[in-house]
Structure 1
Amino acid sequence: MLRSLLAPLAAGLLLAGCATAPKSVSTAPNSSAFAHGMVSAADPRAADAGAEMLHAGGSATDAALAMLLALNVVEPQSSGVGGGGFMVLDDGKGHVETLDGREAAPKAATPEWFKMNGQYLSVPQAIPGGLSVGVPGNVALMAQAHERYGKLPWKQLFGPAIKLARDGFAVTPRMRQFLDRARGTAGLTADGRALYFGADGEPLPVGTTIRNPALAAFLEKLAAGGPKVFYSGANAAAIAETVSKSPRNPAPMTASDLGAYHAKWRAPVCAPYRAYRICGMGPPASGATTVSGVLGVLERFDMTALGKDSPVAWHLIAEAERLVYADRDRYLADSDFVSVPVAGLVAPDYLAARSQLIAPDRTLPAATPGTPPGAQVAQADTLTPDVPSTTHFVAVDRSGQAVTQTSTVESSFGSGLMVSGYYLNNELTDFSLVPDRDGKPVANRVEPGKRPRSSMAPTLVYGPDGKLRLAVGAAGGATIPAQVLRVIIGVIDWKLSVQDAIALPVIYAPGGTTVSVDKGGALEAMIPALKALGHDDIVVRELPLKANAVEVVNGELHGGTDPHTEGVARSD
């Protein structure tokens, strides 16, 4: 019955078509100027650090890096100098750059890295200890970004984080929740147990003041000596020894692995959506191709007419996700090792053809990968279950420079291994642990020096006038593109404020037949309608939602934070 009622409405939901993507990554002819800068972060203390840098005359880059450092202290479960991330930046004149600080596999890594006693480890088995640790990239990213776009002295960026680590910070409800959930990693080592757990073995209560003098001392050295303090000398040796002598899953890593690491400036991935332009991070991140791919598939449907309360609208988003995540699972990996058809995956003609596979009144029986232009090598499909944690933050300064940055140690408290008060990542579990399927190599297999595929999707959105409209990103594993999508669709198609768009529910459909909706969201009430459209396998669960954004409206900046988190936006 419901299908027959929806079909006449759905039949009229075609749009004129896709615009051709501009060739240049410069999106605005003139720089912007704002009365105040703004930051948005998942923790108020980190947002305060960013706002402090803006108030001192710093750039958006300075503010973002200060937030990264402060989050290392107050949100150790999510990110820090022991991890990596991606930065997408507008220089204030419409020129977009992207910086890859993703962790890398050590030189000793092989495709059989996660094989033990003739069996491949599961992800939960592989996470704790040394085998999952990639060479951290955040400090190298910080150094390159600051050299090109920083205004304040390097040392000044560390001030808020050092103060928080030395003088102490209070355990929040969110941190207490993560400590309880991730006891095995947070408390894997004696240092972690001493910092975050009481004598009774229980996580410290909400409101307890934690001081991390080892981290404060290390950050002081890093502030004074620059990135070489991290990638050489005592710290590099300590990381290598900690990984190699881990009580769980020891793995060969050397100080030379750290000394060889470099963050990389990469070409941004930009694609059209209606009269807008969406720019993000390319491989090894899958965020830009996934976000722009879903938007391109949706382009022919009138999402504005449907509106946010329409089951058909959410059905179409889910169907588009299923197709694009299928492409992601086949093609996306580190483009330094695998030929990734990036341009083909976001090509309007390709996405328009993929769009014809879906319909407003029924569900596609199976979502299989397509063959985008430029696809050269047949790869095996794999769905790598990146474990959610991570954090995101955004900064826009008065000159119009904008930074959207995602930072991570992968799962909660990373590998559980600790050096100088910070956790080391477990990023290598973002590789496919099984390197071959059906006689074909998996694109995202482990290789020495390779960077694992990521779902991170720091994104800049430009309006019809070519000027910045929105800087957005999210945390939460493979749900990240779905979270970013609902914000972009909310702002562009449903004319919502960025705060209202972040508060929208999330539908997550990663390629198969299962569709997840967030518990307590408006989509729960739509489940009967979604099932009538053919979505028989709907799971209601607490999705790991955590988005932050800043939008530009009539020349003014407005911040957005996820209501599921403790995040805030601050003006300078």
Structure 2
Amino acid sequence: MKVQGILWRSLVGLGFLSAAPLVAPAFSQPAAPAPEAPTGRTAKSAGSATQDMVAAANPLAAQAGREILAAGGSAVDAAVAVQLVLNLVEPQSSGIGGGAFLVFWDGTTMTTLDGREKAPAAATPERFLGPDGKPMKFYDAVVGGRSVGVPGTVRLLETAHRNWGKLPWKDVIEPAARLAENGFAISPRLNGLLTQEKYLQNDPVARAYFYEADGTPKAVGTILRNPAFARTLRTIAEKGADAFYTGEIAQDIVATVTGHATNPGDMTLDDLANYKVEERAALCGPYRSYKICGMGPPSSGQVAVQQIMATLETQDMAALKLGPEAAHWMAEAGRLAFADRALYIADPAFVSVPVKGLTDPGYLKSRAALVDPNRSMGKAQPGDPPFQKTFRWGASEGIEFGTSHISIVDRNGNAVSMTTTIEDGFGARIMTRSGFLLNNELTDFSFTPVEDGKPVANRVEGGKRPRSSMAPTIVLDGNDKLYAVVGSPGGSLIINYVAKALVGLLDWKLDPQVVADLPNFGSRNGPTELEAGTEAEAWKPALEAKGHEVRLIPQTSGIHAIVVTPSGLVGGADSRREGVAIGN
């Protein structure tokens, strides 16, 4: 069956893509009223559906997924379509030049696929040290070929489709290929990010695509066409992922990386041809009557989320409700989790990561006991989990502002939670002639290979996957039935965003749209961070009275959540971004 062009005939006016409720939400407690939206947000209502649902960061991408689901496609089929459309309409965040983690639930088994980018074989631990032996400035490292990792997204999508797809591979690619040919209107968000961007214009291919001849970003509403990307997609549709990892597309990637005028990389055709997706055991842990599942290392996201939730489980979070007391517990739990994250987690192919110990109930109970309800601990120290073999000192990586999240549930109850990235906004700021941007994922490694005489766990090494904070999550209820699908972009802040969303869904029983729009708060084992411009600002005095160093910072989360209720599916899409939750 071919997916017809309903989507592409309805591009004019995003009102056609609204998330009008089809069924009434059924939560055990009434949903709280949506908080007043801060400047820059667009107030949204929860989306509801009786059969299936997709929540994604752009209405056109979500609608593409919805069309695939309506045509009888699986959650994975829809995820392929959504990701490829996001490559066009949200190019700053994800695409086939990057990588992703996918969590899949088939009603019985939880499976995770690791499509994280890898360092070229020639990469060395000193990759991001300057001539003086000191770490390079972040954007000196980012811009150009040096920061580009071997992309994993295309191979991940093909692997998932072979395992769990229902529609033909060509059919799930065609909506994005058609949109690339026919064009789409530049959104206010994309235009705004192009206006703020400092480096992208220096790449001639990207400049010709995104900017006018005078250097100004193409205006909101301008129809942007990408025939090169359409050709790339149709080649992949015909020949499979091998056409991306070998042949003309691969040659174009290598030439773009190694041919950068000022900051070339060392990726080879062999690096691309040898890339493999890793299927890994899902990391699942209890929270009250629920089971929370997600991606293990090289992502630190799910380990840290489960550590945070284990600390919060010692408290009656439902009674605390939203406010400074809840923020205190979230921040203290975050300090403990981020301390362990920094020391222990990296690519398990290179470092023995004690995941079993880090999520051991006894260990987590001892860590939770360190929290004083009346006083902040300041900076937490890493713990000493059981079941260690070896470990090496760790350090925090760069942050992933160029990231997106997709949540999907199909009519058979299968679910996909996929977080996808090119790392920083617009990645390495280089664009292939094949029509897509390349990631800067290697700056997620530690720039410093040795600290205090110990090798850094997350240092650069050839063939290694950089540590991530991405935390695509699926929640099962006490009967091992699907309850929720959730995730967010946001770099290392992802961990706190997802933990907050889980508390909102599981403890506070809030409508997922309300959960997505709650103010953000937490700690990454530094200051307690409250989202500027939200009601969280008012919590600052109460937290400071408990000894917190408080900072008010922008926190542009992108929570996309779907909850299974007795009446159907209810979804939310973060109002800080332009996405929607829609279904059939």
- The normalised TM-score by structure 2 is 0.90
Q: Which residue of 2 aligns with 1:481?
A: 495
How far apart, in 2, do the equivalents of 1:502 and 1:546 lie?
A: 8
Assess if the C-alpha contact under 8 Å between 2:394 and 2:458 holds in 1.
Answer: no
Q: Which residue of 2 aligns with 1:113?
A: 127
How far apart, in 1, do the equivalents of 2:573 and 2:259 lie?
A: 40
Q: Does 1:416 align with 2:429?
A: yes
Pick aligned residue for 1:158 from 155, 169, 173: 173
The Cα of 1:462 is off from its aligned counterpart by: 1.1
Q: Does 1:143 align with 2:143?
A: no
Q: Which residue of 1 aligns with 2:561?
A: 549
How far apart, in 2, do the equivalents of 1:373 and 1:67 lie?
A: 41
How far apart, in 1, do the equivalents of 2:555 and 2:139 lie?
A: 19
Q: Which residue of 1 aligns with 2:465?
A: 451
Which AA in structure 2 matches 1:386? I
Assess if the C-alpha contact under 8 Å between 1:122 and 1:433 holds in 2.
Answer: no
List per-residue Cα deviations over 1:263-322 (Å, max 9, x = no partner): 1110010011111110000011111101101001111111111111x3111101000001
Pick aligned residue for 2:252 from 238, 247, 250: 238
Q: Does 1:347 align with 2:357?
A: no
Which AA in structure 2 matches 1:68? Q
How many residues are paired up? 534
Pick aligned residue for 1:401 from 392, 414, 434: 414
Pairs within 5 Å for 1:246-265: 246-265=260-279
Assess if the C-alpha contact under 8 Å between 1:391 and 1:407 holds in 2.
Answer: yes
3-state SS in 1 of match to 2:487: strand
Q: Does 1:85 align with 2:97?
A: no
Q: Which residue of 2 aligns with 1:297?
A: 311
Which AA in structure 2 matches 1:52? E
CA RMSD of aligned residues (A): 1.2
How far apart, in 2, do the equivalents of 1:366 and 1:114 lie?
A: 27
Q: Which residue of 2 aligns with 1:528?
A: 541
Q: Does 1:312 align with 2:325?
A: yes
How far apart, in 1, do the equivalents of 2:512 and 2:277 lie?
A: 31
How far apart, in 2, do the equivalents of 1:497 and 1:314 lie?
A: 20
Pick aligned residue for 1:50 from 55, 65, 68: 65
Pick aligned residue for 1:367 from 380, 386, 390: 380
Q: Which residue of 2 aligns with 1:539?
A: 551
List per-residue Cα deviations over 1:193-248 (Å, max 9, x = no partner): 01111111111111111111111111111111110110001111111121111123
How far apart, in 2, do the equivalents of 1:111 and 1:531 lie?
A: 40
Q: Does 1:564 align with 2:579?
A: no
Which AA in structure 1 matches 2:460? V
List per-residue Cα deviations over 1:123-151 (Å, max 9, x = no partner): 22100001100000000101110000000
Assess if the C-alpha contact under 8 Å between 2:401 and 2:425 holds in 1.
Answer: yes
How far apart, in 2, do the equivalents of 1:452 and 1:73 lie?
A: 25
Assess if the C-alpha contact under 8 Å between 1:378 and 1:440 holds in 2.
Answer: no
How far apart, in 2, do the equivalents of 1:571 and 1:429 lie?
A: 37
3-state SS in 2 of match to 1:349: helix
Pick aligned residue for 1:188 from 192, 195, 202: 202
Q: Which residue of 2 aligns with 1:329?
A: 342
3-state SS in 1 of match to 2:423: coil
The Cα of 1:515 is off from its aligned counterpart by: 1.6
3-state SS in 1 of match to 2:402: coil
Q: Does 1:463 align with 2:461?
A: no
How far apart, in 2, do the equivalents of 1:413 and 1:118 lie?
A: 29
Of 549-558 and 285-294, the range deviating more from structure 2: 549-558
How far apart, in 1, do the equivalents of 2:89 and 2:378 lie?
A: 45
The Cα of 1:35 is off from its aligned counterpart by: 4.2
The Cα of 1:389 is off from its aligned counterpart by: 2.0
The Cα of 1:326 is off from its aligned counterpart by: 0.7
How far apart, in 2, do the equivalents of 1:38 and 1:235 lie?
A: 33
The Cα of 1:457 is off from its aligned counterpart by: 0.3
Q: Does 1:96 align with 2:110?
A: yes
Q: Which residue of 2 aligns with 1:132?
A: 147
Assess if the C-alpha contact under 8 Å between 1:297 and 1:352 holds in 2.
Answer: yes
Assess if the C-alpha contact under 8 Å between 1:416 and 1:424 holds in 2.
Answer: yes
Q: Which residue of 1 aligns with 2:53?
A: 38
How far apart, in 1, do the equivalents of 2:388 and 2:518 lie?
A: 35
How far apart, in 1, do the equivalents of 2:537 and 2:489 lie?
A: 22
Question: Structure 1 stretches of 5 or more lacking a match?
Answer: 1-33
Which AA in structure 1 matches 2:77? D
List per-residue Cα deviations over 1:82-104 (Å, max 9, x = no partner): 0001000101x231000000000
How far apart, in 2, do the equivalents of 1:508 and 1:250 lie?
A: 38
Q: Which residue of 1 aligns with 2:185?
A: 170
Which AA in structure 2 matches 1:462? L
3-state SS in 2 of match to 1:85: strand
The Cα of 1:436 is off from its aligned counterpart by: 0.6
Which AA in structure 2 matches 1:393? I
- The normalised TM-score by structure 1 is 0.92
Of 312-321 and 204-213, the range deviating more from structure 2: 204-213
Of 518-527 and 405-414, the range deviating more from structure 2: 518-527
Q: Percent identity?
A: 47
Which AA in structure 1 matches 2:536? L
The Cα of 1:385 is off from its aligned counterpart by: 2.9
Which AA in structure 2 matches 1:131? R
Q: Does 1:212 align with 2:226?
A: yes
How far apart, in 1, do the equivalents of 2:378 and 2:533 lie?
A: 28
How far apart, in 1, do the equivalents of 2:278 and 2:398 lie?
A: 25
Which AA in structure 1 matches 2:249? N
Of 557-566 and 377-386, the range deviating more from structure 2: 377-386
List per-residue Cα deviations over 1:357-414 (Å, max 9, x = no partner): 1111111133110011122334224122324120011111000000010111111110
3-state SS in 2 of match to 1:557: strand
Large movers: runs of 4+ above 3 Å: none
How far apart, in 2, do the equivalents of 1:245 and 1:375 lie?
A: 43
How far apart, in 1, do the equivalents of 2:79 and 2:247 lie?
A: 27
The Cα of 1:496 is off from its aligned counterpart by: 0.8
